[in-house]
Amino acid sequence: MSQLRTVQVLGGGAGSRAHVTSLAAGLVARGVRVTVCAPPGADGPHGFPATGARFAPVPRRGDPAAVAALRAACADADVVHAHGLHAAVRAGIALSGRSTPLVMTWHTPAPAEGARGRLLSLMERRAARAAAVVLGTSTELVDRARRRGARDARLARAAVVASRLAPDGDGTDPDGTADEATALHPPARDDGKVRAELGATGSPLLVSVAAPVPQHGCGTLLDAARVWRTHDPVPLLVVVGDERRTADLGPRAAGEGLPVVLAGPDRLGEILAAADLAILPGTGEARPVLAQEALRLGVPLVAAGPDTLSELVGEAAARVPYGDAQALARTVTGLLGDPGRRKRLAGAGRTQAAGWPTEDDVVAHVLSVYDELARPPVAPPT
């Protein structure tokens, strides 16, 4: 049997880049010839050549030159796998007139309204109909792909990779926003020292992350902090993120006298490991890194966000309605006063995380889809 040849086409998300790095390494280890098409320069920070995959620089554009470059890279592929809507639309155009099957993994929904929403809906229909198989990372995305005309839409094995908090973790982001996961490789630290440095000695320590998107809920988070500052002792909230993400939070926290400290992304791992609670006030992601790592570490999680988040966390998080600062504050202070419930959530989190698919599971699932599409069916003996 000839060697299976696949081309991985990246969109623009950090989550898809890390996922493809993991996927490429696993496929190469199983004897698959892999080419990764991504914007020029992506082979450096994301290490595609180190996986054994060939890297083909292709601009993330839809102009004729970029499409021609992608078409050339896919010339001898048995299966082309696009990650995200933009990548799938470009790959569909590049494969026009060819019988090469296209697989799309739809990692994250992108809410939009007005003219942008109409354009996004058009892209979703075009991508879904171009793909032989759509792999959605949540049941919501699988249903959405079917509504957009997908011939075959299935639930993807979740790309929940090994913890970046492990001693040999590499800090890559499996399915979340960029920069957040670069912090998840902390040095060995004393929790008491971390808390003292942050000013949380004798006070509960809460941790969240900032993201430059409204649906992440940072405004609601600060509204809740205004409520729980009357709690005794006053909890200290640490919001982790780079300056671009936290630029609007610092002035508001200072102006309102909120018990909030900002920290750089390089400290997320050590702060999370020392925290009493992790807070996810909202998310546009199917599998937020903060939720994954909190459950793995046994840090009780309070989470808002879409119903599909339950596919990741199950019953191992205290859920609150998105955008409800009062409910968020009540849940946080209630947990701080109930060590027994915190302990139960911590145990449930570890149990939930232990049942997540491994990287090997994800690679095996994707490879089974490729084999189904690329290998001709075996005729029964006559």
Task: Classify residue 175: in a domain, yes or no.
Answer: no
Q: Are residues 325 and 202 part of one domain?
A: yes
Which ranges in the chain belong to alpha helices (H)?
14-29, 43-46, 64-73, 85-94, 114-130, 139-147, 191-198, 218-228, 243-246, 249-256, 268-274, 289-297, 310-313, 325-336, 339-354, 359-374
Compare 307 and 60 and report the one with higher pLDDT.
Answer: 60
Q: Are residues 191 and 150 part of one domain?
A: no
Q: Mean pLDDT over residues 28-42, rounded? A: 90
What integer pLDDT is reported at residue 78 of this predicted model?
A: 97
The percent of residues in the chain predicted with pLDDT above 90, rounded, is 55
Instruction: State yes or no: pLDDT of 327 exceeds 90.
Output: yes
Q: Are residues 368 and 302 part of one domain?
A: no
CATH of the domain at 201: 3.40.50.2000
Q: Are residues 195 and 56 part of one domain?
A: no
* Cβ atoms of residues 291 and 305 within 8 Å: no
Instruction: State yes or no: pLDDT of 112 exceeds 80.
Output: no
pLDDT in tens, 59-79: 888 789 999 999 999 999 999
Task: Classify residue 379: in a domain, yes or no.
Answer: no
Domain boundaries, position 261: 184-354
In this structure, which amino acid lies at residue 88? A
Structure tokens at 206: 């809460």
Q: Are residues 333 and 362 part of one domain?
A: no
- From the centroid of its chain, how far is CA 262? 22
What integer pLDDT is reported at residue 98 of this predicted model?
A: 94
Confidence of residue 359 (pLDDT cuts 50, 70, 90): confident
Q: Are residues 270 and 331 part of one domain?
A: yes
Task: Classify residue 178: in a domain, yes or no.
Answer: no
Q: Are residues 248 and 153 part of one domain?
A: no
CA distance 162 to 69: 34
State pTM to two decimals.
0.76
Q: Mean pLDDT over residues 244-253, rounded? A: 83
Compare 167 and 131 and report the one with higher pLDDT.
Answer: 131
Of 10-14, 81-85, 91-95, 181-185, the one with minimum mean pLDDT is 181-185
What integer pLDDT is reported at residue 43 of this predicted model?
A: 62
pLDDT in tens, 146-193: 999 999 999 998 655 444 443 333 333 333 333 333 344 444 446 788
Confidence of residue 376 (pLDDT cuts 50, 70, 90): low
Q: Mean pLDDT over residues 36-48, rounded? A: 73
Q: Are residues 154 and 242 part of one domain?
A: no
What integer pLDDT is reported at residue 233 of this predicted model?
A: 94
Task: Classify residue 148: in a domain, yes or no.
Answer: yes
Q: Are residues 328 and 188 part of one domain?
A: yes
* Cβ atoms of residues 112 and 132 within 8 Å: no
Task: Classify residue 103: in a domain, yes or no.
Answer: yes
Task: Classify residue 381: in a domain, yes or no.
Answer: no
CA distance 80 to 71: 11
What integer pLDDT is reported at residue 180 of this predicted model?
A: 38
What integer pLDDT is reported at residue 50 of this predicted model?
A: 79
Q: Are residues 218 and 347 part of one domain?
A: yes
What integer pLDDT is reported at residue 215 of this predicted model?
A: 61
Task: Classify residue 72: in a domain, yes or no.
Answer: yes
Number of domains present in the structure of the chain: 2
Task: Classify residue 129: in a domain, yes or no.
Answer: yes
What integer pLDDT is reported at residue 284 of this predicted model?
A: 62
Q: Are residues 301 and 217 part of one domain?
A: yes
What integer pLDDT is reported at residue 104 of this predicted model?
A: 97
Going from the C-alpha of 201 to that of each of 206, 235, 300, 313, the distances in angstroms are 12, 10, 19, 30
User: Mean pLDDT of all residues in the chain?
Assistant: 84
Compare 252 and 49 and report the one with higher pLDDT.
Answer: 252
Confidence of residue 88 (pLDDT cuts 50, 70, 90): very high
Q: Are residues 93 and 10 part of one domain?
A: yes
